[in-house]
Chains A and B, each alone.
Chain A
Amino acid sequence: MTGKDIIKITLNLVVIYIVGGIILAAVYAWTSPIMYRNAVIEKEKALKELIPEADRIEKLGDWSIHDKHAEYFFAKREDVIIGYIIQSFGKGYSSYINILILVDKDFTVRKINILGHAETPGLGDEIEMDSFKNQFMGKERKKLKLVKTETTDYIQAISGATISSRAVTEDAVRNGVDFLIKKIRKGAEDETVEHE
């Protein structure tokens, strides 16, 4: 390899890396605000969809599960609290499942909504089906248990996707509800004082 080769190789790499970097920076500058805006819109829509009758949904605080940051909210209608929403994560088969849970004031689950996951397509992703999600309607804390047999009292696992079903039921939802119960029951007295 001659000196000329070395200079040519260096020049090659420098030019190509700089041009590549500039193109990537330009595309990033163009797409990242759109991505961020869509994420915010999507989150607001997801909250609203969960409890359409609320006229105000406000953030109550932050918490973390599996070292992931999550938030919880209260939903009000004409200044009366009608429910709480908590975001939670469950450790599934191949990903962390991101879920929003709506609970009544007595901490009965009313509805859940899956925000994101990367479970096996065709098996684990059936947690997104209404037939699975609707099982959570009206379940109290102690009924949040996964069973593999046919049931209406507890949550029935999806066949072929027990791990994903368990992650949703016992990891994400149950832990989220537990946290809310602990947090809101404990803070209930200060809250009422603060609001009046």
Chain B
Amino acid sequence: MKQSNTNRYLDLIKNGIFAENTIFKLALSLCPSIAVTNHLRNGVLMGIAVLFVQVMVNTTVSLLRNFIHPRIRLPVFMLIISGWVTVTDMTMAAFFREAYKQMGLYIQLIVAFASILARAEMFASKNKVAPSMFDGIGMGLGFLFALTIISFFRELLGKGSLWGYPIIDVKPLLIMILPTGGFFTVGILMGFFNWINMQYAKKHRSS
């Protein structure tokens, strides 16, 4: 019994990272994925903030799922989301001052993330606490993974640096740190990700 539970949780996490990756598969929350990913550090911190909010929101919604009246579930979800985002915002402002100066604006924007509301509505409001929590971890890690890859390429190609440290002397493609470059990167990576998925599926079917 315990074994099957662990497997199920692992599947939920894998599902969030690969099969239902917020950005590459569901194509949700594309705005922040372009807005913050011109710097590797910003991408990673944003991913961590979203991971925390997603886990907390899923857990809270799941705990309250029998208490919330179906007619008002969306306003209640929004309140829960904005509450946890504000907690993240205030904590970051107090303890990570340097990063917050650049990230502050986008942290508050997590409230409007479609992916978080969608997970609360589609998964957490119908499932028990533990699966909801692992679903949150999976979705959050998937988002973190996507933002890290996107910002890695954008900072490296656009600024020639990683995490603010110069790697190459020149700026090969200045366009990469502009929003235009963000669209290019997301599009190309999305295609690549799906191509790998297709190859993987083909191999599985033939063997």
Contact = CB atoms under 8 A, between A and B. Distances in A.
| Main SS at interface, chain B | helix
Contacts of B149: none
B93 interface: yes
B94 A35 contact: yes
Contacts, number: 73
Contacts of A193: none
A123 B178 CA distance: 8
A84 B166 CA distance: 35
Interface residues of A, number: 28
A27 B76 CA distance: 20
A138 interface: no
B86 A35 contact: no
| Main SS at interface, chain A | helix
B90 A28 contact: yes
B132 interface: no
Given A20-B80, A34-B95, A35-B94, A121 B102 contact: yes
B72 interface: yes
A122 B159 contact: yes
Given A24-B83, A121-B102, A122-B38, A12 B93 contact: no
A12 B76 contact: yes
Given A12-B76, A121-B102, A122-B158, A27 B87 contact: yes
A38 B95 CA distance: 9
Contacts of B38: 120-122
Interface of A: 1, 5, 8-9, 12-13, 16-17, 20, 23-24, 27-28, 31-32, 34-35, 38-39, 42, 116, 118, 120-123, 125, 160
